[in-house]
Structure 1
Amino acid sequence: MTKKTSVEPWAMRIAQLINRFGAVKSSILFVIVTLIFTFAGTYFLRGIISDNAHTEDFISASILTLLSAPWVLWFFSELVKQLERSRESLEYAVTQLEKLREEDELLNHTLQNNIKQLNHEIEQRKNAQLERESVFTDLEREITEKSEKEKQASQLSTLLRSIIDASPDLIYYRNQEGRFAGCNRVAEQMTGKTEQELIGLTPHQVYDEELASQVVASDHEVLENDVSVTEDLWLRFADGRRRYFEMRKVPFYSADGTRLGVLAFGRDTTERKQAENAVNKASKDKTAFIATISHELRTPLNGIVGLSRMLRDTNLTSEQFAWVSTIYASGITLGNIFNDIIDLDRLDRDRLELSLKTVSIKDFTQELGSIIELLADDKELTFAAHVEDPMPALVEVDGTRLRQILWNLLFNAVKFTQKGVVSLEVKAKAIDAETSMVTFKVCDTGVGIPPQELDKVFAMYYQVNLPEHQSATGTGIGLAICQQMVSLMNGTISVSSVVGEGTCFTVDLPLEISKKPIQVETLKVTGLQILLVEDIELNVMVAKALLEKLGQHVDVAMTGNEAITMARDKQYDLILLDIQLPDMNGFEVANVLHDESLVEQTSIVALTANVIKTRQEYLDNGMDDVIAKPVKKSRIIEVFNKLFCEQPSEPHQPAPEPKKDHLNTILDLELLQMLVDTIGHEMVRTSVKVFQEKIPEYLEILQISLSADEKDEVCSQAHKIKGAAGSVGLARVQKIANEIQQGDHPAWWQNVHDWVEQLNQAANQDLQKLINWLSQQDIDD
């Protein structure tokens, strides 16, 4: 609102003044003022014009004034009234104008606010429009990107599908309910169903019941424990082919972490398995070859060593004694070479064993030195053996292995020394009250070993290149076997050498000091009735002569059938049974003797040149002990004393406790008889037939799992075999499988290969015995 002007017009002031005094007072005042003005004006004018004023001038002026004054007054009154009305109208108008102005200002302010609000809204709408445009732009971009991604995803999906279908691996996945949700082309070929046909089916609707149960069990393990699982399965394709698959199963999830099911990958490992089988077969063939060659070579060697030893005990000239001693030492050398070959095979199969016995180091050194001295004399070398005191009187050691180690070292020393000395020095240093570190040092003055060759001499099949001594080369296995044997005995072996001056090998062995005395190797039993089963005339002659010299009575059988017949006709105290016979092997002979109860009071000792098998394997096949060829007098005394030392004064009439029925250790006869009585022969025979059909596959899977170091799978498969064997009464198979399934055994890995081999042998042999037993039951009925 504008501010009023501080100065008002004079007319307005006069009008206000007249209005304030009233019309009468103002008129009287106006007349008086007019009269005064008239008198003054008349007087002034007269004074100017005539310098003399007259009364009539004043009267005429007064009359004129009085006559004109009312009209003038009226005029001015009306003028005042008009002015007053105008003023009031003006004030009213001003008031209205003020109100209008205020309203206008209010409207203007409102309008300004509305304009501002409108501008704000316009700005907001403009921003919203920009945002919408931006959103539309982003949406268009997202749509474009999404379309591109969908296109890429489609291409990637097609590519992945092509890759999966082109993969030679078996791929499928199943949902949480265990139903197929997808697969690749290999799975379609295997099942004979398309992917669409497979979707929604369960393993029980696709596989045979046994395979389906195994598959479902592994699926359950994946889902239950949320872990990956690996298993090996034989799968049969729709075209009839059977392939061996290594299946890997893993849980798979959606993007939000929800588990969707099981994803399985299967790699066809049939060729690998066949290769492994070929390797295993080659290993078995190699073992069989070594066993055969060992037997064939030891057979004549038995005669050489035995006869030369017997000749040395006769009256000979010094020259003849030297010749015979050379033959004897050569036979011993050949025997040690055979031992190296056999131990090489054992090392390959981790079957090298130690058999600790009480040994006198001094006597041991003297015995070994007497044979090496013969070899040294042939080359005109000096041999010196020295045992340094103090030395424990007796120690616990595998004398055969120690002899083999030192023999290799001493034989090499003699072989590579043209002149000079070969020596064996033995000394000991106490570790504690119960153990002593015994050091064997073999030195020679031979050709020596170049420095660059020293770290290689213990490698398998390695031979030092000595052009000037080509005749003194060997197989390169002796030192390698020595190192492994020393390691097996927790010792160390080292070498030092100077070319042209000689070589020294040092063997350090921690040996337990023995508190018990050596048992005197004197035969405590004579007059035994012995049946010697041997098909080689030379071996018969040597063994029979040795046994008779020891005061025993010997009958000879040249074949297995002949031995069985003689055992039926006569009761023997002991049967020395060769394993390699022309008509049947010794194990078969022993089985017949056990089955016919011909040896309830007779001991059977294997007499064999095949030292591939362990002693326990012979015991498991019905033997009471084993004697290796060439036959040693000390071993015969040891075995005879062990078996018959508790005999009465007349040893040819022994009365030991009846031995346990051999068949009972193989079959659970009580269970089998119960099954026969309960479900009948036919049902038992059917069960045995099913086992006979399944066991090759079980054993094959077991062997493959072992080759793959899948301990859990080996234990699982052994558990399956154990259950199957137990259901048909194969007690020994069940027992061996039970050992295999106990994966927490502290020496499981060290023994499992032997157990598996025993299981294979027992399954084949015992199953036949079970079939024979069932046939015998039919005959008895």
Structure 2
Amino acid sequence: MGIRKLIKQPRQANGNTLLICIDHNGIINSLEGPVIHLLGYQPDYLMGRVFREFIPDEDEHKLNCLFDNCTDRSEFRVRRSDGSLMYADAFVYDVFDDTHTHLGYCLRIYDMTARMAQINSLIENEEKFLAIIDNTRDIICIFRDRKILYINEVSVKMLGYPREELYRRDYFSLFSENDRERVEEYELVNKDKRAGRWNFIAELITAEGKKLICEFDIKSIRYGGSKASMAVIHDITDYTLALAELTQAKQEAESANRIKSDFLAMMSHEIRTPLNGVIGMTNLLLNTGLTAVQRDYAENIQASGENLISIINDILDLTKIDSGRMELESEAFELQVCIEDTLDLLAYKAIEKQLDLLYFIEHDVPTVLKGDVLRLRQILLNLVSNAIKFTSSGEIFISVQLLGQSADEVELKFQVKDTGIGIDPDKIAHLFEAFVQADSSTTRKYGGTGLGLAISKRLVSLMGGEIWAQSEPGKGSEFFFTIKAKTSLVAKPRLRVKGNVVQLKDRRVLIVDDNQTNCQILKLHFESWGMKPVIAESGQAALSMLENESAFHIAVLDYQMPGMDGIQLARKIRRMGRYEKLPLILLSSSGDHEQHSAGLFDARLLKPVRIKGLFDEVLHIMTDIEKRRKMAEPQTNQIDVNLSQRLPLRILVAEDNLVNQKLAISLLNLMGYKVDAVLNGAEVLKIMNEKEYDIILMDLQMPEMNGIEATIRIREIYPPEKQPHIIAITANAMLGDREKCLEAGMVDYMSKPIKIFELQAALEKWGALKLESRKIG
């Protein structure tokens, strides 16, 4: 034998091996590696003990052989603390000091227990390789160039051929005629692969003509000094038959489940019918003369009925998915629009709790996708509304990143993060089960059935993704989900803004907000537009930057900040000489402050901020500062608080976004008007059957019936003298939109955000004409 490797210090152990060093007397003097995990002993217990104490007597000769220098490697057993035996594959190293004095030995031990357990289940106390091979349950065959070089005893029993005949046969002749040509071609293609291993399923024919369905695991090996192939062949005939029976049983169970789901859906619909009657009659009851106590009872009935309707709707969604009747739509949509629409629907709830709703889409995420936007919005609504429900202060942040992309498909990862009460980690696994709450007590405090997350999980699965959560009590929660969607070039994106704009390039913008997440989001967007953003975390820090740093071209101020709010900061900036005319944009959750800040700001944007709206305002300001400054001068544009007396107009606001609706009402209230408001075009037609209006402020994009459709219906239904003047209100401001509005019968067009003086001017112009026509009529 060769000279054994000599070392001064053996290599360190890793997570899968033990390194045990002993002296000439066999006493353990050094240990490394997962001792407790593999042997169950504490390292201190082993130190100073004779290693041979832990070796069974029948294996001691193998250890002696290592130390007598007759071999470098041996296999033996080591007794664990619980009395069981660990099978060890050991390499020995001589250890010397700097003077070449022999100090002892180090054994690098690999745990072979799992492998030996499998071997021992086939044949006990057998150490010879050939005996193991011959007694395994699988056929093992080594072949080269179609000739069988070795085949184990199991092969003889399973195939029924004498061993001598098998050695004379062509290896491929063992396959059925249906598979022979396919297997030959398959192995020809795969045998030269670098990995040297491949798998397939095929049929073998026994001597009696019986077909065996087998799973093949083939690996390239060296045999007899040359390259060969070894096939481990596992008979899966019984398994295949059992799987077929299981599949049939599964189909029968799914059919039974569909019957159950159909019954549940039918019962849900049956419940809705009387429940709609309860809610409808309660609405009628609330419109009668009730005492305070009676009204309270009726309102409780109405709220309970509406909650029950919501639960039934969730059950219908759940049963529709479980019964396989949920089919996803596939249409082009803009991801940014989807997220912003979702946040708009929940903005009012967030404002009530003074929470920030934020989002950020990574710049490599495609802007236009093809899929079911309504179901994606439903998932986001469930997650964000839950986040709002369980968050008392702070923020809810949505982010989207690209995980992978092919020619026509992307995989996206969504995150919904909040600063709420958090969830115990041991309860997260049950979150996505139907009717399960993270804590049953939350049902009483926060409401809900737990169906929302169950439905979200199923919808995410239909979209080819997964959903999961991370949380700690008191530290907020993070919900993640992935989806797969097609990319689409059907429609050009309207909202995503990329690339530098000449008018914005290198312009310095000051961002003032105490919310760091919002600051970082705005910073990334401004940088993508070629601007140079600077962040201030408070009003005082902003004033310091304005005094000490080089000039800024524009500033974006948050309204709600501790210590000094956005309006107070704006007043201080206006009193600074060189920043008296600095363009300022205010970010706020409502428009109630407008009367206290006239002339301070060049633009106001409602939160959650729509990025396209922010871009349009910044670009407009930077390209036409002087014109906008004149429009904002308070001395030349005064709010007419008596406009309603001069022009007593009957005004209707049609706006589905509650925050924007509240803003429009607030602006009209400043002029003295008391107005009505509805959520969509269908409600416009309904209320016009009851009242006459002179002016309708009509949002273009509304559910059920949009502003264009409602306007066309009004022009068709009512005679000219009964028709109100309809003024379009839209966030799009796209080329051709004005023409579409006028063509539909609208008289004017205003883009969001609504400017109070533009609104006042429109009312003065069209209100005077309407009143004049009313007199003539």
**TM-score for both structures, normalised by structure 1:** 0.32
Higher share in strand: 2
Structure number with greater CO (CA < 8 Å, separation at least 6) is 1
**TM-score for both structures, normalised by structure 2:** 0.32
Higher Cα Rg, which structure: 1
Higher share in helix: 1
